[in-house]
Structure 1
Amino acid sequence: MNNKKKKSSSKIWLKRHFKDFYVREVHKNKIRSRAWFKLDQIHNKFNIFKNNNIIVDIGCSPGSWSEYALKKIGSQGKIIACDISFMKPIFGVIFIQGDIQDICTYSLILQKLKNKKADICMSDISPNISGHAVIDIHKSISLSTAALNLSIKILSKNGVFITKIFQGENFNMYYQLIKKKFSQVKIYKPHASRFKSREIFIIAKNIKE
């Protein structure tokens, strides 16, 4: 692609980007990212958050999900957020910088839970996007599987697991794996997700015995 075509493509992308309703709302309301609206739509659909919930937020950076959940659970609730990337502090949220595939990170999460079970484990985790669908989907499945395994260990029996996943190869295998672990499993694509995006969300409730 020559320079003129690159500049033209960039201009088109920027024009579409700033015409996007959710992008405008992010700037208008000083929200960390459009992911805030995705979680809002998930909550409105499935009534996820309750007062005093204990929440573990995986792949939390830049912090929109923790920011949203904090307003829903009240001052007696608790949020432990984790990401391999740094997250700008949110008052009332405990942040752990680390890889959830690392046993040390898992141990830190358990330490912060203080022998209590979480009510919600939510994962907006995503790999660094390469642009190659097969590679990106494989990485996404791997990270989401790690999030699922963690959720099984830390959630209460009636807990809720929310995870983002990319549609494609092995998606059905991952979906079936979640169905083996939880008694209620739903698939949902919020309006705030871009139309062309492969991302989709799975909401699972009640761990099976």
Structure 2
Amino acid sequence: MKRTKTSKQWMTEHVNDAWVQRAKLEGYRSRAAFKLTEIDQKDRLLSKGQVVVELGAAPGSWTQVVVKKVMPGGCVIALDLLDFAPIEGVEFIQGDFTEDAVLQEIEKRLHGRQVDLVLSDMAPNISGIATIDQGRAEHLWELALDFSQQHLVSGGNMLVKVFQGSGFEGFRKAMGAVFKQVHVRKPAASRDRSSEVFLLGLEKRD
């Protein structure tokens, strides 16, 4: 298939991207590692011994960051539709988070333990129709929030990737009903032109 002008431009930017080059140099699977690293440095989300559930984990760069911080003694359960190369200490589930069977599998792997931190980097497959894509994205945010409400320890935290647009303010308010603090984070490794931001919910309410 012939590449479009837009895809060629993206590839050129990607290859020349300083974050991509740094990720290769430091052994991370993608530039996204630095998004989580920056937020963690600011908000101190990760620590030894934590139980962490990561939704939308592939290709595994966030997972690499998490494992370094919570091991030894921690528990990391990662989920994605796509498979990725194994990471020592990580329990990986390949499946669709919108399906009840997948949720039940996560709960099974938890063995009754509550979760200290929920990370969600989930995003829907893009159709190109803005209203449909935003609606699908919002559904994933809501599922991640519902999971957090059900499984986080009191005082636990959640970090979720969202896209600014319709539904953003409503979802931020919904997070405010679950967490004592809600912050917007835009790490330096996020592309400026992207509507991607991260909502951070701190201290889950009792």
TM-score (norm 1): 0.92
Q: Partner of 1:124 in structure 2?
A: 121
Q: How many residues align?
A: 205
Which of 125-134 and 90-99 deviates more?
125-134
Q: Partner of 1:150 in structure 2?
A: 147
Q: What is the one-letter code of the residue matched to 2:82?
A: S
SS in 2 for 1:91: coil
Verify the 8 A CA contact 1:161 1:204 in the aligned structure 2. yes
SS in 2 for 1:99: coil
- C-alpha distance after superposition, 1:89-111 (max 9, x if no partner): 11110001112221111111111
Give how far 1:36 is off: 0.5
Give the counterpart of 2:10 among 5, 10, 13. 13
Give how far 1:144 is off: 1.0
Verify the 8 A CA contact 1:161 1:203 in the aligned structure 2. yes
Q: Which runs of 5+ in 2 are unaligned?
A: none
Q: Partner of 1:44 in structure 2?
A: 41
SS in 1 for 2:169: helix
TM-score (norm 2): 0.94
C-alpha distance in 2 between matches for 1:163 and 1:103: 20
Q: Partner of 2:26 in structure 1?
A: 29
Q: Partner of 1:72 in structure 2?
A: 69
Give how far 1:11 is off: 4.0
- Residues 1:83 and 2:60 aligned together: no
Question: Could you say if the C-alpha distance between residues 7 and 182 of structure 1 is closer, same or farther in structure 2, counting changes exceeding 3 Å?
Answer: closer
C-alpha distance in 2 between matches for 1:106 and 1:18: 37
- Residues 1:165 and 2:162 aligned together: yes
C-alpha distance in 1 between matches for 2:5 and 2:175: 43
C-alpha distance in 1 between matches for 2:130 and 2:10: 20
Q: Which runs of 5+ in 1 are unaligned?
A: none
C-alpha distance in 2 between matches for 1:164 and 1:7: 28
Q: Partner of 1:141 in structure 2?
A: 138
Verify the 8 A CA contact 1:137 1:167 in the aligned structure 2. no
The structure with the larger Rg is 1
Give the counterpart of 1:191 among 188, 193, 199. 188
Percent of aligned pairs with the same amino acid: 35
Question: Could you say if the C-alpha distance between residues 172 and 163 of structure 1 is closer, same or farther in structure 2, counting changes exceeding 3 Å?
Answer: same
Give how far 1:155 is off: 0.6
CA root-mean-square deviation: 1.5
